[in-house]
Amino acid sequence: MREFSVLPGRAVAELLAGRETEVVEWVREAYLAHEAGDTVNPDSYFLRFPDKPDSRIIALPAYLGGTREVAGIKWISSFPANVAEGLPRASAVLVLNDYRTGHPFALLESAGISAARTAASAALAATALGAAAPATVGVIGAGVIARTICQYLAATGVPLTDVTVHDRDDVSAAALTGHLARTHGASSRAGDLREALGCDLVVLATTALRPHIGEGHTLRPGQVILNVSLRDLAPGLLLTAQNIVDDIEHCLKADTSPHLAEQLTGDRSFIAGTLADVLLGRCAPDPGRAVVFSPFGLGVLDLAVGHHLYQRAGEAGRLLPVPGFFGETSRW
């Protein structure tokens, strides 16, 4: 029986640092394993609060087969009101379970892992969908996820030479533009929504609960939209684009923009395929339309990144064992 260990957030951050291209590859492998049926990824479970409609805690259980053979669950909260108090919006833990026995063997601080796998997914999609060298990048929503996505875009060769950042909070927009200039040498500025949405590559990373980008806005051919926050685009606007998702069943629920588009049209024919289809050459970007990538976020991605980090932490002596964590280690 494996000893139970903890991997704290500082160790997670240090193990992730400089590994962006590796993380993208881990995420790519997980997508392909999922496409091959070598995963189990049930629906996410949302804990909501009547007096806090913008807040939630989500459970993402999953199993990743192949060479990993690990199960687990991410438990991640999103409390947007934290931002006004200078606290992180999101916090998370990831539990890893042994596939043979079912016993949990590790607890990882996972806000950083969740941000990294989200950013890696976005960067993978950007390059796969033809946005490797956009002249302009627009970022709508200037939080941790947006910052991490920009980090992964830069690491995978997407130039941040001309970036427009839009956020309803001017302080957040200024903070991200300053960070991009200092860290990536980016020529960045705060701009309005229309300016950001008009860029060649657009990152949507807000906490919007319902669509706010629709009437009066257009998407143009050749644009790639990373619809990470999932609820910004009105369904009518979404239907003007070629739509790629990470998983059709998962993405078309919980009132995401694609889910609203399905309700509007009555079918799913507007979905061109999945990112795995693109990676495998079964679906190609349509140059005559904007391409929108909508990733619901799969628990298998957290497992892939978390298990890799667990292994590297063990090799580096960074795991913190918890002796006696299990009350009984034998049946009798």
The 10s digit of each residue's pLDDT in 66-89 is 888 999 999 999 999 998 898 999
Q: Which residues contact 100 (CB under 8 A, 6 or more apart)?
A: none
Mean pLDDT of the chain: 95
In this prediction, residue 132 carries a pLDDT of 64
Q: Is the pLDDT of residue 310 over 90?
A: yes
Under 8 Å between Cβ of 71 and 97: yes
Tell me which DSSP letter residue 80 carries: G
CATH topology of 5-113+299-321 equal to that of 122-294?
Answer: no
How many other β-carbons are positioned within 10 Å of the β-carbon of residue 221?
12
In this prediction, residue 67 carries a pLDDT of 86
Q: For residue 68, which amino acid is it?
A: R
Alpha-carbon distance of 326 to 189, in angstroms, equals: 53
Across the range 177-206, mean pLDDT stands at 95
In this prediction, residue 83 carries a pLDDT of 86
Alpha-carbon distance of 26 to 28, in angstroms, equals: 5
* 266, HSE (Cβ side, Cα atoms, 13 Å): 0
In this prediction, residue 1 carries a pLDDT of 77
Q: H helices within 46-143, ranges in order?
A: 111-128
Place of tokens 């061109």: 272
Q: Is the pLDDT of residue 2 over 90?
A: no
In this prediction, residue 10 carries a pLDDT of 97
Alpha-carbon distance of 229 to 324, in angstroms, equals: 41
| Sign for the pseudo-dihedral over CA of 205, 206, 212, 217 | negative
Under 8 Å between Cβ of 54 and 209: yes
CATH of domain 122-294: 3.40.50.720
Alpha-carbon distance of 293 to 204, in angstroms, equals: 10
Helix, coil or strand: residue 85: helix
Q: H helices within 156-282, ranges in order?
A: 170-184, 193-197, 235-238, 248-251, 257-265, 275-279
pLDDT in tens, 138-164: 999 999 999 999 999 999 999 999 999
Which tokens in the block code for residue 184?
Answer: 């990536």
Domain ranges across the chain: 5-113+299-321, 122-294
Under 8 Å between Cβ of 88 and 82: yes
E strand spans, 99-155: 104-109, 137-140
| Sign for the pseudo-dihedral over CA of 95, 96, 99, 102 | negative
Q: Is the pLDDT of residue 131 over 80?
A: no
In this prediction, residue 86 carries a pLDDT of 86
Burial class (CB in 10 A: 0-12, 13-18, 19+), 98: middle
- Identify the CA nearest to 86 among candidates 176, 171, 166: 171
Alpha-carbon distance of 173 to 180, in angstroms, equals: 11
Strand 90-98 relative to strand 104-109, pairing: antiparallel
Q: Which residues contact 54 (CB under 8 A, 6 or more apart)?
A: 80, 81, 207, 209
Under 8 Å between Cβ of 229 and 238: no
Across the range 14-21, mean pLDDT stands at 97
pLDDT in tens, 244-294: 999 999 999 999 999 999 999 999 999 999 999 999 999 999 999 999 999
pLDDT in tens, 20-67: 999 999 999 999 999 999 999 999 999 999 999 999 999 999 999 988
Alpha-carbon distance of 243 to 190, in angstroms, equals: 28
Which tokens in the block code for residue 175?
Answer: 């903070």
CATH architecture of 5-113+299-321: 2-Layer Sandwich (3.30)
Residue 92, Cα to own-chain centre: how many angstroms? 14
